Amino acid sequence: MKESNISREKTLKMPLNMSDTPQQHQQMRIWQQNLNKSLHAQLDLLHSADPNDFDILLLQEPHIDHLGNTRANAHWAVIYPDRHLRDPKKTRSVILINKKVSTTSWTPIATQSSDIMAIQLQGDFGTVRIFNIYNDCQNDDSLNMLANHLRTQEHREHPVAPMRMVWAGDFNRHHPLWDEERNNHLFTTPSNDDGTSERHTNPRGINNEEYYKS
């Protein structure tokens, strides 16, 4: 399986209640990466993600060992989905949170999915819910599960206003807005029964071939 060494950083501007700097307001920095279940990729990430620079690591397809655990080091607390203990090998989303972040400022969110891990942070800035999502390339089960969760009364309630959400992860989807032109073939549906081929259009309603020419 191909290893991943590509990181995507997301920076959110909000004050954090850090245990060692309780009065300091600073940005929260998030590292998001799909590790393709590779131990080498995960160890490389832990070496590269300096805990002085990052507060949260959102991992998709993390390495899970024979004991059902992922890998971390002394700087990070691991948060597993609520269904992890049922079948650890099915877990494809975990969150590592910097131990400098006060444990009184965050709580895990139960999503009833091994592919979605979420946490809630609250403070003077309000409430922020971060969803780490792995969406299988063969179905939209994770997105449907997320949609169901967002309709629950539990999700509508939040202790401190305003409430904001962050969705991050590996959605296994291609789109003209973020794919390169060389991936144009990915937006062609299989040939129809009559031998014709249907072209997907981009959000502007333009055929992709015309979109790339413009």
The share of the chain scoring above pLDDT 70, in percent, equals 74
pLDDT at 123: 86
pLDDT for the residue numbered 125: 85
The confidence score (pLDDT) of residue 202 equals 41
Average pLDDT score over residue span 43-48: 96
Q: Which of 74-78, 85-89, 123-127, 173-177 has the highest mean pLDDT?
A: 74-78
Alpha-carbon distance of 33 to 95, in angstroms, equals 11
- 5 falls in which pLDDT band (50, 70, 90)? very low
> What is the per-residue pLDDT across 98-119, written as a single tens digit (0 to 9) for each?
999 999 999 999 998 999 999 9
Is the pTM here over 0.85, yes or no?
no
Mind listing the domains of the chain with CATH numbers?
8-170 (3.60.10.10), 181-213 (no CATH)
DSSP annotation of 189 reads P
Rounded to 5 degrees, φ, ψ at 200 are -75, 150
Helix or strand or coil: residue 148?
A: helix
Contacts of 86 (CB under 8 A, 6+ apart): none
